[in-house]
Structures are given as structure tokens and as C-alpha cells.
Structure 1
Amino acid sequence: MRTTRSRNTARRAGVGITGFAAMAAAVVLTAPSAFAAVESVSVDGSDYRVGGEYTISATLGGASVGLLVYFSDNGEFIGAPKVPWPPGKSSITWKPETTGQHILTVEQGGTHKSVVVNVKDAPLGSGSSSSGSGFGPGGPLGSGSSGTTD
């Protein structure tokens, strides 16, 4: 009789340990999202143009708000990872180089949030202009004055 009871006790203990291990693994797998969270993402402005400069801002939460923050545009990182400052906030300057849809993503500690913006061409006349070198066939143009002295 004791042998059967010992086996049942050992079997129950084994099931209990296995259940505990499974629960502990589940906690470890979900831990990053519980401790760090990107709560919101915003981009200043509303008329996004190629060559313009905009600020992407993120609000961060959770116990690990000090983890590095990564910003990306269509999967390509924007600059280096940022240390949140002030705590719970992070931002970066973004200068779009192409037209079309851009998915801007902020990642921290295994969590991420994205915002989608559409970028248009730069307005006409927004580039730099040059009026020429100021030199003609005979030398500088308009660089001096003539006059007589009495």
C-alpha cells in the first residue's frame, strides 16, 4: 500500500513541478512587454515633404523606460539608438528623402508602435539657386565701379 501511495505522491509532485516550470517560462517570455512599453508615437507637422525636417516623438512607459529607443523609417534605422531623456520621452529629427508612404516605428524593450505618413515632393523653388559665377569673358562682371577723381 505504501508503494502505491509513494508513487502517486511522486507523480503529483512531478506534475506540479512541470506546471510551475511552464508558468515560469510564460512569465519570462512576456516580461519585456510588461516592463517596457512604447505608449505613443507622433510626428510634428502635417504636410510632409521630401527634404523637410520633422521631429518624431515617443512616450514610453513601464518600469524599464531607460532602455535604448530605436527609430526606423520603412525598416531602416534613423540615426543611432537614443537614451530616453527626459525619462519616459524620446525624440529624433527625421528628414524624408523619398516620396510615398513611410512607416515610422519606435521600438524599446521588445515593444513597438508605428505611425504612417505620406511624403510629397518638395515644393517647386525650394532648392538652392545660383545666379552664376559673376565672371564674363573679360573678367569679373559688376565687381567694381568707375569714377574719376579731380
Structure 2
Amino acid sequence: MNLEKIIKYSGYLSSGLFMLIGFIVSFEVISRYIFNSPTIWVNEISRFLQIWATYLALTYSFHKNDFIRITVIYDRVGQSGKKILDFISMLFILFFSSFVVYYGWLIAYDSLKVGRTSSTILDVPSFLTELAIPLCFFLLVIRVSIEIVRKLGLLIK
């Protein structure tokens, strides 16, 4: 499976997780207010899913060029200026994401090593939540690196 498919499916998975969150939160509202029987799992599971869904959407957003831009300067420069600003942005994203991958992995690995769990009744291993950050930022690092190489290749031609 190539990277483009992984990115596409990470976006689909993210969308599906957000829809699932909507369903389970709706279930909680119905259980709590109509049947007077609240659940003990919806809050933690929806938070867990939201973390994964948000970080899975990172690479897909970059791939679709849907990141937020501050357009005060961007809209006032020409095409070559936009290309330069995009390239600078990619370098910042690569630099920041690399740090997040490194330190996120250290935190997630530490949680796995010591067996840290959530402080709720479900006692979910913290590693499962924390792994979303380095894994999804690693996908972003790969995608941004490919785009930087592609842009540099266009400059050389």
C-alpha cells in the first residue's frame, strides 16, 4: 500500500471516528436524560476517539492543502512569493513535527514501560492514547518531506 492510500484512508478513518463520537455521545444523552441511566464509558471513549481522529486528520489536511493560513501577507504576494511562503511553511511544519514525533514517542514509550493507565473506571492504558501523537505526526513528517523534495525537484528543472 502506498503513502497516498494511507493518507487518504487516514482521512476517511478520521471522519468515521468523528461520526462514531457523534453517535456514542447521542447514545449517552438518550441514556442519561430519557432512560435516566448514564453510561460510565462514553466520556473516556469519546475523548480517546477524538484524539485519534484529530491527529489522523493532520496528514490528510496537509495533503489536501487545507491547513489554516494567515492570509494578510499571502494574498498580497505573487505566485513566486506564495511558493516561497509555502516552502518556508513546510520547513516549519517539518521542524516542529519532528520534535513532536521524538518527544511524543518518549512520552508514549514511558507510559508503556511503566504501565500508566487513565484515572477513570475503564483504566485504559495511556500508551494507546499517547501513541496517536508520534504516529500521526510521523506520517505528517513523511508527507511534508516528500512535498519538500518534490518542490526542490521543480526548482532544479
Normalised by the length of structure 1, the TM-score is 0.23
Normalised by the length of structure 2, the TM-score is 0.22
- Specify which structure has the higher proportion of helix: 2
Structure whose alpha-carbon radius of gyration is higher: 1
